[in-house]
Each structure stands twice: as C-alpha cells, then as structure tokens.
Amino acid sequence: MIEPHAAKALKPLYVQDPKQRAELISEAATLPALLVSSAASANAVMLGGGYFTPLPGFMDLADALGVAESMHTAAGLFWPVPIVNMVRDAASLQGKRRIALRDPNVDGQPVVAIQEVQKIETATDTQMQRMTERVFCTTDPKHPGVAAFNGAGRTLISGPVTVLSHSYFEPEFPKTYRTAYQIRAEIQGLGWDKVVAFQTRNPMHRAHEELCRMAHHDVGADGILIHMLLGKLKAGDIPAEVRDQCIRAMVQNYFPKGTVLITGYGFDMLYAGPREAVLHAVFRQNAGCTHLIVGRDHAGVGSYYGPFDAQTIFDREVPAGALRIQIYKADNTAWSKKLGRVVMMKDAPDHRPEDFINLSGTKVREMLSKGEALPPEFSRPECAEILKRYYQSTAA
C-alpha cells in the first residue's frame, strides 16, 4: 500500500483506547477551556483521523507563514495550507501548559481535544494579509475561505494535540464518516493496490459518474474512493445528508458491486482552489489512495481561480517527489448529443457548445425548485428525485 505523506506509518492523534480516552476527558474538565472556531475543531478531527500525518498538532506562526509562502514548514516539511488554531483573545491562556479545546459545533460544547501550549503568538496585519493572499490567491472578504480564515482571530496557539472526539461527524454520518486509518484498513481488506479518489462537495451527476469510470479505467485502478466533504460549506451548497443519499443511489444502481467505497471526512471547506487541491492530495495519500482526480475548478468558488489552476499547481509549485500520490487531470465532462455519451470536452474538438448538455448550478436549482425533471443525460433519475424533494422542501 502507498506510504503516508512524509512518514512510514500513519500517525492518527485520536485516542482509540476507551479507558485512556475517558481518563483524558476527565482531566480535560480540570483544564482551562477554549472554545475554538469551527475550522480549528475540524482541523483537530482531521489530525485525529490521521489525515494530516505527519503533523503532531497546530502550527506556530513561523510554520504557518512558511507554509503559506512556500508550502514548507520551518523544518522543511512539504505542506500546502496552514493548519492552525487561531483565536481573537488568548489572554486567559498565558502561562497555561495544557488546555481543553471545546467544540463549537456540538450541543454542550464538549471537548474535542487537549492541546499542549507551546507558543502563543499574534500575527501582524501584514502577516495575515500575506498568508491570506498566498493561500487563497485573494484578500477579498467576500471569498468564503478568506472570511473564515480572517474571522477566527489572529492569535495562534501552537502545540501538539491529543484528540478525544470525532465531533458531530461520527454520530451524524455513521455509514459514511471514516478516518484515514479506517479507509486504509478497508482498502487493505479488499486487496486493492491502486485506488483512485474522487473529491466531492456536491451531488454527483452523470458527468462525475463517468469521470470516475474514466479514471478507474485509465490508471488501471482496483477501486474508487468517493470521498465527500461532511463539514461546513458556504450558504447555498447542498447539505451533506442529501449529497450522501444521491451518491449512494448512484453507486448502488450504476456501478459494479465491490468497486466503490463511499466515505466522508470531517473538514470545513476552504474554497482555496489550487492550494486546497494539493491538501486534498496529501490527505488522500494518507488515506491510502494512489491517484486523485483533479478536475476543472477543483475546490474553487466564484471566479477567483482559473479553470485549471488546481492542476497546474502540481506541475509548477509542488516539488518533484514531494508527494507519492499521482494526479489524474480531468477536463470538464458533459453529455455529447452527437456521440450519445459523456465525454471530456477536450476530447471532442468538433463539438460546439450546443452539442453538449451541461447545465449550470443555477439552472439546476431553478428546475428542481419548480419540480421539473432534470434531463436523464445530465442526472440519474434516482439522484434527480432526491434533489427535487430537497429543493422543494426548502422552497416551501
């Protein structure tokens, strides 16, 4: 199986022994408490699941700046985005050695992790602006990732973490949420060697379905990991439970049995385009995948990134040998009226725009809200029905 990023073995930080975990939860009740941001809580969950191997915890300012600037920590570890615990005010934590991080996304705000406090540092305006600009390619406060990154505060609390909870992801998505070490175990149990990962924060339409098939065939993969984001999204995005239903209906009805793993991970979407695509590659490698599909406008939002910036970053900025996982570069895919099947648009140079069925997200939402059926060439009927019920319920 493919090795984890920059490590011989996965390094999940979640305490799996129930007795030890219970003792640490009891200890956490005696420690100074910090209610962290949703992003920091999700970072802790990803650290716990081994997705962020080999990181031991939250980065300090030097590492965050180095990663933002050159995708390397001060010690030289390749990493694409800062993994930080940032707060507005840490005055009450000065001099504390261990703190309990409380989860803002669960009722009662239970402890998600215990953190050892190594440093408490405050970034300057210039440093915040530079990190924002390098990671998101913009400082526009309307960008959802920029807003979240700058809205959490600018004081970084760095140090190793011991993770005690999977937040709301495990109880709310018991069939879907998986840690990196659980996915590795499933892949190993299936005897898969080559695994192609498909990242999604949206329901999968016919084009996505066919793209998975193309990649599976082209790289000679044993199986496909459909890996959906289960964390926070921007307003207007479709909830995870609806996406989950759509994906399960599609896989059950249209993929050969035993060729697809349907899983999800607990992370808040960054909408960081190219940098987030590289992060996706890192933690898919940690999950045991050998290939990652990177398509048009991967992890993008609005018009902040070029359509294929998330592909070119692997050629221009990721050093040779920094990652073991390979990138499957995909063009936009759509149903060809001429050929009667889904194709990559780059492979159909004789086509005009009207030769494709390729609906915009706005058009899809409009049709579903009105109860109109999506074209069967665009969406499988089972998925379209699930989406129609959702949109009609939100419009009621």
Which tokens in the block code for residue 333?
Answer: 């895919």
Picking from 9, 46, 22, 17, the residue whose alpha carbon sits closest to that of residue 177 is: 46
How many C-beta atoms surround the C-beta of residue 241 within 10 A?
Answer: 12
List Cα–Cα distances, 246 to 205, 211, 258, 390, in angstroms.
9, 16, 18, 11
> In which residue ranges of the chain is CATH 3.10.400.10 found?
18-170
pLDDT band at 396 (very low <50, low <70, confident <90, very high): low
Q: Is the pLDDT of residue 175 over 90?
A: yes
Q: Is the pLDDT of residue 113 over 70?
A: yes
The C-alpha atoms of residue 390 and residue 349 are separated, in whole angstroms, by 37
Q: Considering the chain, what percentage of its residues have pLDDT values greater than 70?
A: 100
Which tokens in the block code for residue 383?
Answer: 């998925």
Rounded mean pLDDT, 216-225: 98
Picking from 50, 54, 55, the residue whose alpha carbon sits closest to that of residue 115 is: 55
Concerning whether 85 is annotated as a catalytic residue, the answer is no
Give the sheet arrangement for strand 260-265, strand by strand. 260-265, 223-229, 195-200, 291-294, 326-329
> In which residue ranges of the chain is CATH 3.40.50.620 found?
175-395
pLDDT at 302: 93
Q: Is the pLDDT of residue 236 over 90?
A: no
**What is the residue-averaged pLDDT of the chain?**
96
pLDDT band at 366 (very low <50, low <70, confident <90, very high): confident
Given the residues 21, 201, 213, 389, the one annotated as active site: 201
Q: Beta strand pairing status for 86-87 and 57-58?
A: unpaired
How many C-beta atoms surround the C-beta of residue 9 within 10 A?
Answer: 11
Candidates 3.10.400.10, 3.20.20.410, 3.30.70.270, 3.40.50.1010; correct CATH number of 18-170?
3.10.400.10
Given the residues 21, 130, 134, 202, the one annotated as active site: 202
Q: How many residues does the chain have?
A: 396
Concerning whether 202 is annotated as a catalytic residue, the answer is yes
- Choice between 276 and 237, residue whose per-residue pLDDT is larger: 276
Rounded mean pLDDT, 332-351: 93
Q: Which residues contact 11 (CB under 8 A, 6 or more apart)?
A: 4, 50, 53, 54, 56
- pLDDT tens, position by position, 181-212: 999 999 999 999 999 999 999 889 999 999 99
- The third-level CATH classification (topology) of the domain covering 175-395 is Rossmann fold (3.40.50)
* pTM across the whole model: 0.96
Rounded mean pLDDT, 281-288: 98
The C-alpha atoms of residue 379 and residue 392 are separated, in whole angstroms, by 17
